[in-house]
């Protein structure tokens, strides 16, 4: 049961018509958000809808290109995060940045510790206030323990405590429950409600509709950088919201061509890694695209990394064809025909400071050597072939990869792996942060590759992509596979449902 | 919801005692006591002769000052390799002032030495804080440059004990209540520095910057200013050490302080200051300095020729950092396990 | 399964974004080489006796150890690590050579033992860094003291000086009439090997990749830990070779030989354009850096400038070179076309 939002008077936070671009990439076309005091306001949208960018504008990290930004009725223009903090805005990120060596208490008060006349820090006052804060939040954390090793849930509580001690009137929580267990979520919600009742305004960004509908009183939908709608939670349903988030006829945009589905190429059985994923079993056949859907934090990337050998696992097997893939050995995995296009393009997929040619040929260097020697001539020749096959847009092969657009960077990563002539391609978030035109190219490419017999495991948080491309959809939630849905039965609703509902028993 | 927000501590005294016993500083202290006891058994003069006791306290005093300054810098995730050259310069300045300005009050010389050290530290700090170049490289360069200036200035001259006022040299060996003056000075500085590091915002911000520089920026801490202060403090303390060096040894040539940076870093590392910053105390660094030099003096008595000293220092450093790593891994594991207590 | 994706490649790419002359000339390495040439010319003109062949001979004899150790040190710094213990290995190898020789072992055999010991020392460094996971700065500060301590401990304050004149004169000998010392032959061979490995093998590509992004490198199958380990072993072995040369050249094995050499090596490597952050640098710049410092020292000594001034200049040069890199990066970021680069990474997550 939620309290009706809105103390009469100016809204706590109001953004109208806000736009923001980065070079050629338009992150926000026109964003609106009006949050009242005494309210928990949900902000939903797919990846790429612009939510994170909007939050960063509110936090003062970015400056908007155009549009109004009002705080309690007054126009503001923050040039730094310090300014927004001073005005009473606090952002709780999914992964807080704390000082691991310092105590919880010091983390909350760093930079503004209470002092006496001589400048001596009053530790007792600081500690008492921390205990008091934790009491108000009804949590139990030892104020003297170092911040290191705290669970994400506790780190978030500390960030919230910090925000309250700064008397933040607007708190934005960016996907706070992604890494939380059921009990921790309950605790967080209790905290959020008590903050709301104190007259603050909360913004809750999440994909998890059961949580959104349980906690929030108002919901705003964004899509493709634009404002779509705002409603009272009681006046709408999950289906309506999902429909507005997705908003287009899915099957037209990402056609997957018919392909002959052959024998099983990738066979994963009983894969387990404590705390990350449990008893994961699935198969991918040649010519097939298997989509792996789920919410952020479900454990999909962890499975991919374990299969490829970057991370380890404690139980289970991975086989390509009939051969067992050794654990924790990416080179062996590569030699057996596995390829992984990782989630974090800039940190894991590419060496951003290196050239297109070097990046493209990085995985096949050994095959390009003559008598152990590798010349840039050989590199360039191979790079040329693959870059042009994927139509990477760049002038020269020695362009630094970090200067390419997101879409072209992704093409380079793909080129690198396709050059190894793989049998199985695992691709994690194939089109995240990529413009629409290149998206279509990547999808066409994946479709063609499947047609040529490649087995593809595609991890994606974008429903239209999953629904359009996959022959079969596996859905993961909290480390387990909760559903396997064939193409014909896969709809936004059925996938979302499986992604947000586990068995009734919380772990 | 439960109103109990902290784990009930069964007995504050016992917990405090437990923390004390587990602290790195305590183990250093114990090691020190052990070394002294063993050596004194072999040769009672080590501790019990009047000279023995005095030297035990006197010898490390200068390194303690430098180690305290170095610890502050290392805690902010930097390092200062130029301290040896700084000490050489300030020691020589001390001699020169006494020679060239007859009748100069001792206090002026002391202040001049500290000031010179502070300026040299400021150069390091400015380059590290503004140019954002790793301190390792900058202080490597100033190690060379400062030493070169020292040699250029001194030429082949040497300051001899006879060149300096008697009462200044007297300071180097005099004692009050059997505690050498230099030791008292080092102790006073140590206590002041420890108090600052533990009880002021500035001191805590050193730890914050070393623990997680990204968070320090996010919190809005004045990182540049803090780094400057750390290097200036290190330089000033080394400057003071240079003056005391002149008082103690009387003879100063252009190579004074050569290699001191290694001993200072070793003292800090052995004393529990993590090389990547964020943890450790100046107490630990001071104790590390005392332990280091006491071992050096004890080795010959224990029958180990003193040219094995360096090897011992090296083994201690490696032992200390391996130990720290193992402890850190264990602590991470334990902290992860206790995290679940927070919501039940 | 054929891998043709498009019907036929439709794009044409240039190999290089800029013409050869621009690529080759507008680099840090060419800056240092140019500076080196200028200093040499200035010395020939301005300093008496500098242009005598014997100057070059002594110059090369003096800097040979630095030249040798700079080779593996360059690769180590490119991967983002550092090795401060190299000078101590020089000392240790020197002492081992001396004591074994005194015990009756022929020089070649003693040399082999010394090189092996150097490799073991490097392996210890490598083990602590790659297996135990300690920072190389801290580890090599410790082994700097440990290995030097072992060296001094073994010989104490004495020195071994009675080396067979055959070997000591070999160390100082020159190639025919050229005035170039014979030690340059093994050096040039090593230089070629290192240069080929760094620029023409997958291992060398891996070295750069590790320095630029060790995470992405490990995702692409580069053996990060193994590469670093090998480099530390190489550094130890090459330092031991330098130690053998040093001992025979001066005819004296002492525990404190080559104290402080590591600083000269690192200063020269950084001066030569290798970034302390890792990921960039090349050997020709490093050679120029070593020779530049050597020429400066030589010329200034001939001009009766004292070595302390030379140290001031070396120190200042080092500081200036890294500060100027920082400054250039700052300038590069301020340009409008480059403003978006950092922000683009945020856009990718929107």
A10 CA to chain C: closest CA distance, Å? 29
Kindly state whether A183 is in contact with chain B, defined as any CB-CB distance less than 8 angstroms: yes
CB contact under 8 A, B148 and C144: no
In a domain, A374, yes or no: yes
Residue A505 confidence (pLDDT): 33
C284 CA to chain A: closest CA distance, Å? 18
Kindly state whether C316 is in contact with chain B, defined as any CB-CB distance less than 8 angstroms: yes
Does the domain formed by B44-343 have CATH 3.10.450? Answer: no
A143 CA to chain B: closest CA distance, Å? 7
For residues A417 and A428, membership in a common domain is answered with no
For residues A289 and A391, membership in a common domain is answered with no
Domain count across chain A: 3
For residues A67 and A158, membership in a common domain is answered with yes
CB contact under 8 A, A453 and C1: yes
CB contact under 8 A, B266 and C145: yes
In a domain, A128, yes or no: no
CB contact under 8 A, A119 and B201: yes
Question: In the structure, how many helices (H) and strands (E) does chain A have?
Answer: 18, 20
Kindly state whether A115 is in contact with chain B, defined as any CB-CB distance less than 8 angstroms: yes
Task: For residue A100, give the nearest of B3, B212, B338 by CB distance.
Answer: B212
* Interface mutation vs chain B, best among C141, C147, C305, most B CBs within 10 Å: C141
Q: Residue C10 — pLDDT band, cuts 50, 70, 90?
A: low
For residues A76 and A37, membership in a common domain is answered with yes
Taking CB atoms and an 8 Å cutoff, what residues of chain C touch A53? Answer: 346-347, 350
CB contact under 8 A, A52 and C205: no
C16 CA to chain B: closest CA distance, Å? 31
In a domain, A294, yes or no: yes
Supply the DSSP string of C25-91, one letter for each residue: HSSHHHHHHHHHHHHHHHHHHHSTTTTSHHHHHHHHHHHHHHHHHHHHHHHHHHTT---TTHHHHHH
Instruction: Compute, in degrees rounded to 10, the torsion defined by CA atoms C103, C107, C110, C112.
Output: -170
- What are the Cα distances from residue A453, in Å, to A295, A364, A412, A472, C246? 29, 21, 21, 16, 63
For residues A192 and A265, membership in a common domain is answered with no
Under 8 Å CB pairs connecting chains B and C tally to 152
For residues A158 and A52, membership in a common domain is answered with yes
Taking CB atoms and an 8 Å cutoff, what residues of chain C touch A387? Answer: 11, 13
- Tens of pLDDT, residues A60-98: 888 889 999 999 888 988 888 888 888 999 998 877 889
> From B226, which residue of chain A is nearest by alpha-carbon distance?
A111
For residues A234 and A275, membership in a common domain is answered with no
Which of A421, A439, A460 is the endpoint of a domain? A421
In a domain, A107, yes or no: no
Nearest CA among A282, A287, A238 for reference residue A425: A287
Residue B331 confidence (pLDDT): 80
Q: Are B260 and B66 in contact (CB under 8 A)?
A: yes
Taking CB atoms and an 8 Å cutoff, what residues of chain B touch C266? Answer: 140
For residues A18 and A60, membership in a common domain is answered with yes
Interface of C with B in 135-164 (CB under 8 A): 135, 137-139, 141-150, 152-153, 156-157
> From B258, which residue of chain C is nearest by alpha-carbon distance?
C260
For residues A81 and A178, membership in a common domain is answered with yes
Mean pLDDT over A197-211 rounds to 87
Which of A405, A421, A437 is the endpoint of a domain? A421
Q: Kindly list the partner chains of chain B, i.e. chains with 3 or more CB atom pairs below 8 Å.
A: A, C
Q: Residue C129 — pLDDT band, cuts 50, 70, 90?
A: very high
Q: Are A281 and A270 in contact (CB under 8 A)?
A: yes
Sketch the domain layout of chain B as residue ranges: 44-343
Pairing of strands A264-273, A424-428: unpaired
Query: Facing residues of B179 across strands?
Result: B176
* Interface mutation vs chain C, best among A330, A351, A383, most C CBs within 10 Å: A351
Task: For residue C348, give the nearest of A353, A363, A432 by CB distance.
Answer: A432
CA A505 from centre of chain: 26
Task: Look up residue B154 and give its two tokens.
Answer: 């001194």
- What are the Cα distances from residue C290, in Å, to B138, B151, C61, C160? 19, 23, 13, 29
What percent of chain A has pLDDT above 90? 40
CATH number of the domain within which A445 lies: 3.40.50.300
Taking CB atoms and an 8 Å cutoff, what residues of chain B touch A151? Answer: 339-340, 342
Backbone angles phi, psi at C96, to 5 degrees: -65, -45
Find the helix or strand (DSSP H, E) in which B180 lies.
Answer: strand B179-180
What three-state secondary structure class fits B181? helix
B191 CA to chain C: closest CA distance, Å? 27
The parent domain of residue A77 ranges over 13-98+150-246
B97 CA to chain C: closest CA distance, Å? 22
For residues A354 and A333, membership in a common domain is answered with no
Under 8 Å CB pairs connecting chains A and B tally to 106
Of A249-263, A306-320, A326-340, the range with the lowest mean pLDDT is: A249-263
Find the helix or strand (DSSP H, E) in which B225 lies.
Answer: helix B223-249
CB contact under 8 A, C200 and A373: yes
Instruction: Compute, in degrees rounded to 10, the torsion defined by CA atoms B82, B87, B90, B94.
Output: -170
Q: Are C63 and C222 in contact (CB under 8 A)?
A: no
What percent of chain C has pLDDT above 70? 91
Sorted by sequence, the CB contacts under 8 Å of residue A444 that are 6+ apart come out as none
For residues A400 and A383, membership in a common domain is answered with yes
Residue C340 confidence (pLDDT): 38
Pairing of strands A338-341, B179-180: unpaired
Nearest CA among A270, A259, A95 for reference residue A173: A95
What three-state secondary structure class fits C252? coil
Of A434-448, A467-481, B72-86, the range with the lowest mean pLDDT is: A434-448
Nearest CA among A251, A231, A343 for reference residue A296: A343
Question: CA–CA separation, A13 vs A72, rounded Å?
Answer: 6
* Interface mutation vs chain B, best among A101, A124, A194, most B CBs within 10 Å: A101
Under 8 Å CB pairs connecting chains A and C tally to 159
CB contact under 8 A, C134 and B321: yes
> From C268, which residue of chain B is nearest by alpha-carbon distance?
B141
- Tens of pLDDT, residues A331-388: 999 999 999 999 888 889 999 999 999 999 999 998 888 888 998 889 999 999 998 8
Residue B1 confidence (pLDDT): 37
Q: Are C147 and C86 in contact (CB under 8 A)?
A: no
What percent of chain B has pLDDT above 70? 91
* Interface mutation vs chain B, best among A148, A166, A184, most B CBs within 10 Å: A148
In a domain, A277, yes or no: yes
Which of A388, A421, A454 is the endpoint of a domain? A421
Mean of pLDDT over chain B: 87
Listed ranges A78-87, A443-452, B187-196; the one with the highest mean pLDDT: B187-196
Q: Classify C28-323 by CATH class.
A: mainly alpha
In a domain, A4, yes or no: no
Q: Residue C348 — pLDDT band, cuts 50, 70, 90?
A: very low
pLDDT at position C121 over 80: yes
More confident residue, A136 or A410: A410
- Tens of pLDDT, residues A411-423: 999 999 999 999 9
Sketch the domain layout of chain C as residue ranges: 28-323
Interface pTM, i.e. ipTM: 0.85
Residue C156 confidence (pLDDT): 79
Residue B271, CB half-sphere, CA atoms under 13 Å: how many?
29
Q: Are A463 and A455 in contact (CB under 8 A)?
A: no
């Amino acid at each position: 049961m939620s309290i009706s939002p809105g103390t009469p008077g100016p809204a706590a936070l109001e953004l109208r018509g806000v736009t923001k671009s980065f070079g050629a990439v338009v992150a926000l076309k026109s964003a609106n958000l009006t949050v009242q005091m005494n309210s928990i306001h949900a902000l939903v949208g797919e990846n790429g809808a612009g939510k994170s960018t909007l939050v960063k504008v509110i936090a003062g990290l970015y400056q908007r290109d155009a549009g109004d930004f009002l705080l309690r009725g007054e126009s503001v223009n923050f040039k730094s995060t310090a300014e927004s903090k001073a005005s009473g805005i606090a952002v709780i990120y999914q992964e807080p940045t704390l000082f691991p060596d310092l105590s919880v208490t010091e983390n909350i008060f760093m930079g503004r510790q209470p002092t006496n006349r001589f400048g001596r820090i009053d530790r007792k006052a600081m500690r008492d206030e921390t205990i008091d804060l934790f009491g108000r939040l009804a949590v139990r954390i030892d104020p003297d323990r170092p911040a290191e090793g705290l669970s994400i849930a506790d780190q978030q509580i500390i960030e919230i405590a910090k925000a309250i001690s700064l008397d933040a009137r607007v708190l934005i929580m960016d996907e706070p429950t992604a890494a939380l267990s059921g009990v921790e979520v309950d605790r967080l919600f209790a905290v959020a409600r008590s903050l709301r009742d104190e007259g603050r305004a909360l913004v809750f960004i999440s994909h998890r509709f059961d949580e959104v509908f349980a906690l929030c009183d108002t919901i705003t939908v964004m899509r493709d950088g634009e404002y779509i709608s705002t409603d009272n939670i009681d006046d709408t349903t999950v289906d309506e919201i999902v429909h507005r988030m997705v908003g287009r006829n899915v099957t037209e945009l990402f056609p997957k061509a018919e392909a002959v589905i052959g024998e099983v190429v990738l066979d994963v059985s009983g894969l387990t890694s404590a705390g990350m994923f449990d008893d994961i079993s699935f198969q991918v056949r040649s010519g097939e695209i298997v989509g792996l859907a789920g919410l952020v934090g479900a454990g999909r990337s962890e499975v991919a990394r374990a299969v490829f050998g970057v991370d380890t696992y404690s139980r289970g097997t991975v086989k390509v064809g009939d051969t067992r893939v050794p654990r924790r050995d990416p080179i062996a995995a590569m030699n057996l025909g596995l390829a992984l296009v990782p989630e974090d393009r800039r940190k894991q997929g590419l060496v951003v400071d290196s050239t297109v040619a070097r990046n493209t040929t990085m995985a096949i260097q050994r095959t390009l050597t003559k008598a152990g020697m590798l010349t840039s001539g050989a590199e360039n020749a191979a790079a040329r072939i693959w870059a042009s096959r994927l139509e990477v847009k760049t002038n020269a092969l020695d362009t630094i990869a970090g200067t390419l657009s997101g879409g072209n960077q992704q093409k380079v990563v793909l080129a690198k792996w396709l050059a190894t002539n793989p049998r199985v391609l695992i691709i994690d978030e194939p089109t995240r942060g990529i413009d629409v035109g290149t998206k279509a190219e990547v999808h066409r490419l994946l479709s063609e590759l499947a047609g040529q017999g490649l087995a593809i495991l595609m991890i994606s948080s974008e429903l239209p992509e999953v629904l359009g491309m996959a022959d079969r959809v596996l859905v993961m939630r909290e480390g387990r596979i909760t559903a396997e849905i064939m193409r014909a039965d896969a709809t936004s609703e059925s996938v979302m449902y499986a992604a947000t509902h586990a068995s009734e028993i919380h772990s | 919801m439960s109103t109990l927000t902290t784990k009930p501590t069964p007995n504050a005294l016992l917990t405090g005692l437990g923390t004390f016993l587990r602290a790195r500083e305590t183990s250093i202290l114990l090691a020190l006591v052990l070394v002294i006891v063993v050596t004194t058994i072999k040769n009672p003069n080590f501790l019990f002769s009047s000279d023995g006791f005095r030297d035990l306290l006197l010898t490390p005093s200068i390194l303690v000052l430098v180690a305290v300054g170095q610890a502050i810098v290392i805690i902010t995730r930097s390092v200062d390799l130029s301290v040896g050259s700084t000490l050489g310069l300030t020691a020589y300045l001390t001699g020169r002032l006494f020679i060239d300005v007859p009748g100069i009050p001792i206090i002026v010389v002391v202040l001049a030495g500290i000031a010179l050290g502070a300026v040299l530290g400021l150069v390091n700090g400015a380059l590290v804080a503004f140019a954002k170049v790793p301190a390792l490289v900058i202080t490597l360069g100033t190690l060379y440059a400062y030493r070169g200036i020292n040699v250029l200035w001194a030429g082949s001259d040497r300051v001899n004990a006879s060149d300096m006022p008697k009462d200044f040299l007297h300071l180097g060996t005099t004692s009050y209540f059997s505690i050498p003056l230099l030791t008292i000075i080092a102790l006073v500085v140590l206590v002041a520095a420890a108090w600052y590091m533990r009880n002021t915002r500035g001191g805590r911000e050193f730890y914050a910057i070393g623990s997680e520089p990204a968070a320090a920026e996010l919190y809005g801490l004045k990182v540049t200013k803090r780094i400057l202060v750390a290097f200036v403090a290190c330089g000033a303390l080394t400057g003071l050490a240079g003056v005391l060096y002149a008082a103690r040894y009387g003879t100063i040539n252009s190579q004074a302080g050569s290699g001191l940076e290694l001993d200072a870093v070793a003292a800090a590392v052995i004393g529990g200051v993590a090389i990547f910053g964020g943890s450790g105390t100046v107490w630990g660094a001071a104790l590390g300095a005392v332990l280091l030099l006491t071992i050096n003096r004890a080795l010959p008595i224990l029958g180990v020729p003193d040219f094995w000293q360096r090897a011992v220092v090296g083994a201690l450093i490696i032992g200390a950092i391996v130990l720290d790593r193992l402890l850190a891994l264990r602590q991470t594991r334990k902290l992860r396990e206790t995290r679940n207590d927070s919501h039940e | 399964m054929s891998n043709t994706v498009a019907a036929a490649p439709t794009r044409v790419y240039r190999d290089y974004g800029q013409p050869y002359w621009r690529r080759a000339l507008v680099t840090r390495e060419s800056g240092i080489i140019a500076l080196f040439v200028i200093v040499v010319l200035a010395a020939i003109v301005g300093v008496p006796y500098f242009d005598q062949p014997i100057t070059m001979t002594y110059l090369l004899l003096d800097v040979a150890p630095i030249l040798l150790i700079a080779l593996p040190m360059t690769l180590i710094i490119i991967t983002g690590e550092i090795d401060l213990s190299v000078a101590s290995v020089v000392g240790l190898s020197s002492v081992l050579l001396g004591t074994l020789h005194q015990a009756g072992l022929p020089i070649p055999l003693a040399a082999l033992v010394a090189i092996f010991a150097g490799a073991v020392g490097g392996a210890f460094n490598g083990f602590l860094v790659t297996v135990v996971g300690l920072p190389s700065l801290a580890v090599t500060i410790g082994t700097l003291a440990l290995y030097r301590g072992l060296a001094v401990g073994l010989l104490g304050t004495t020195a071994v000086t009675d080396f067979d004149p055959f070997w000591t004169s070999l160390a100082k000998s020159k190639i025919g009439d050229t005035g170039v010392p014979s030690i340059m032959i093994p050096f040039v061979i090593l230089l070629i090997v290192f240069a080929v490995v760094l620029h023409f093998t997958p291992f060398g590509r891996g070295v750069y990749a590790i320095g630029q992004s060790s995470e992405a490198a490990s995702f692409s199958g580069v053996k990060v830990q193994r590469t670093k380990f090998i480099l530390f072993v190489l550094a130890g072995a090459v330092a031991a070779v330098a130690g053998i040369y040093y001992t025979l050249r001066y005819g004296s094995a002492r525990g404190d030989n080559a104290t402080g050499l590591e600083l000269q090596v690192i200063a020269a490597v950084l001066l030569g354009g290798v970034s302390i952050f890792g990921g960039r640098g090349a050997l020709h710049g490093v050679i120029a850096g070593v020779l530049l410092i050597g020429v400066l020292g030589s010329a200034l000594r001939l001009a009766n400038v004292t070595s302390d001034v030379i140290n001031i200049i070396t120190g200042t040069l080092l500081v200036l070179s890294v500060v100027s890199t920082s400054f250039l990066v700052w300038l590069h970021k301020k340009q409008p076309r480059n403003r978006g680069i950092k922000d683009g990474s945020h856009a990718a997550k929107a």
